[in-house]
Amino acid sequence: MAPLTLPRTIYDETHELFRGTVRRFLECEAVPEHDGWEHAGITPRSFWLRAGQEGLLCPHVPESYGGAGGDYRFLAVLGEELARAGITAANFAVHADICASYVLHYGSEAQKQRWLPAMVAGTALVSIAMTEPDTGSDLQAIRTVAERSADGYRLRGAKTFITGGANCDMCIVAARTGGIPGSKGISLFLVDAVLPGFQKGRSLQKLGLKGQDTAELVFDDVALPRDALLGEEGAGFKYLMGELPRERLAIAVLAVATSQRAFDLAVEYTRRRKAFGQRILDFQNTRFKLAEIQSDLLAAWCLLDRCIESHANGKLTVPQAAAAKLWTSELQCRVVDTCLQMFGGYGYMLEYPIARMYADARIQRIYGGTSEIMKEVVARAIDAGD
């Protein structure tokens, strides 16, 4: 059964040349080492340095800060190729797509000069800390505080579920300033990990994505200089909302590309595996399930391409990104589950990629805003007539 495809018109020759570079790099530098990273629970810094040397970490950063000055499509290519290769250990999206964009969009010139070249090179790894033990998706309820001092701010509080927290050299921290409740009292800070009081807590043991270090962070009266403030005081929630479409689109890219990989693995396995004297692919149930997945993938790629194009042109809205994240992440979990079933008992064995994909997929419906929050975002847009 030949896979059905539609021509993708959002990428030009430059994007495809970049795709080839990414694919070759991952096949040589990541695929052979990935199992070891999962056992270790962290991706070594040496890999980040090699990725930086190849120009893969922040391709959208302007040349004046060490990047290639590419558009958003280069980040989408990077996400697609990581999923295609099955590389979940190194979360490029958090470091390159999300964190670099915060610095680029809201940072002062001094902040950009200090952090962006190092992020491009992989010599400074950056994470973002929003979630707290008692807040989850409710960012307006955060309790971490940054109180003004004579020299700047004093940062106190704790964050959890921080991707890249154990490896980070700098963390973008959301904290409450000015004693103001709700969204208007939230500010963002660039917190250097070497500052006294910045404590990296335990690395968390997760169901999936085991090669990504996920940590608890504690800020014990960290003295921050005034220039640690990112953008304007009290504007942090606005910045977070402004960047959420980008984050949710990155999750959608991973969801669709991973669904495609699960389908491809299932097709390959059912073609060669036999049961009751015939290929598994020859059973009508298998063929119909694969036909359903293929049809869903056709729709998913079309939706994703339209969203990538819209975001590259600055037109992707918060409700549109929420809808894309909702549908594609739910699709990923359904596709991986259906494909695993075709592997029978082998699908439950971790030596088979489909088993690890099953565990990895579940978080997609939680981080970046749960599916329930995405439904609320879309429903509010409906109610408002947007």
CA distances from 158 to 102, 162, 191, 201 (A): 21, 11, 13, 10
CA angle 368, 373, 379 (to 5 degrees): 130
Q: Which of 247, 292, 330, 372 is catalytic?
A: 247
247 is catalytic: yes
Short-list 142, 147, 141, CA closest to 159 = 142
User: For residue 256, how many C-alpha atoms fall within 13 Å in the half-sphere facing its CB?
Assistant: 27
Short-list 269, 254, 268, 277, CA closest to 361 = 254
**Is residue 11 exposed (0-12), middle (13-18) or buried (19+ Cβ within 10 Å)?**
middle
Distance CA 96, CA 125 (A): 9
Distance CA 68, CA 366 (A): 32
Short-list 92, 293, 333, 334, CA closest to 207 = 333
List residues with catalytic annotation.
247
